[in-house]
Amino acid sequence: MKKEVRQAAIERIINQFPISKQEQLMHKLKEAGINATQATISRDIREMNIIKQQDGDKWRYMVYKNDNPNELAHLYELIEDSVTSAEQIQFINIVHTIPSYANNLAAVIDDLKLDSISGTVAGHDTVVIFSANNNYAESVNKMFMDHLNIEL
């Protein structure tokens, strides 16, 4: 099975069904006549920028696509719409979002591959952003503070 065909099927299944576990996805793929191991599905999920996002009261996989040609503008818009606070602690920034937006924010940040950001960890409403040093972390914090909507 070609990777492109399998990944197209994964995207179709995730868009049609509320899939929250890799085992469910593997079962739906098998129903569609596609056999794939859990390791293969896990790699596909990473390659396809599939994230878990809350949908109502449940979590499900969703394909993260950035249709905005200006990715940095998309990040600024997301900060304005979803970030409630940002605090720098040495080389780390702790960013709080409205519930269920942290994963999406982290995915956008990761996709940008900014020099000032080494990596992110996201929870339900918090993103921890790691920088290589305090100066980078300070510039990241300034970016958040410049685009924060204080009315949230």
pLDDT per residue of the chain (152 residues) written in tens, 0 to 9: 689 999 999 999 998 999 999 999 999 999 999 999 999 999 998 888 788 777 777 888 887 665 545 778 889 989 999 999 999 999 999 999 999 899 999 999 998 888 899 999 999 999 999 999 999 999 999 999 999 977 65
Which of 112, 151, 110, 149 lies closest to 128 in space, CA to CA?
110
Tokens 């100066």, residue located: 135
pTM of the model: 0.60
* Domain 71-147 grouped into CATH 3.30.70.1060: no
Task: Yes or no: say if 95 and 126 are a contact pair by the CB < 8 Å rule.
Answer: yes
Where are any strands of DSSP class E within the chain?
Answer: 50-55, 58-63, 83-89, 92-97, 119-122, 126-130
Q: In this structure, are residues 25 and 14 in contact, taking their beta carbons and an 8 Å threshold? A: yes
Does residue 108 contact residue 71 with C-beta atoms inside 8 Å?
yes
The residue whose two tokens read 């576990």 is 21
Which class does domain 3-63 fall in? mainly alpha
Q: Return the domain boundaries, the chain.
A: 3-63, 71-147
Q: How many CB atoms are located within 10 Å of the residue 100 CB?
A: 16
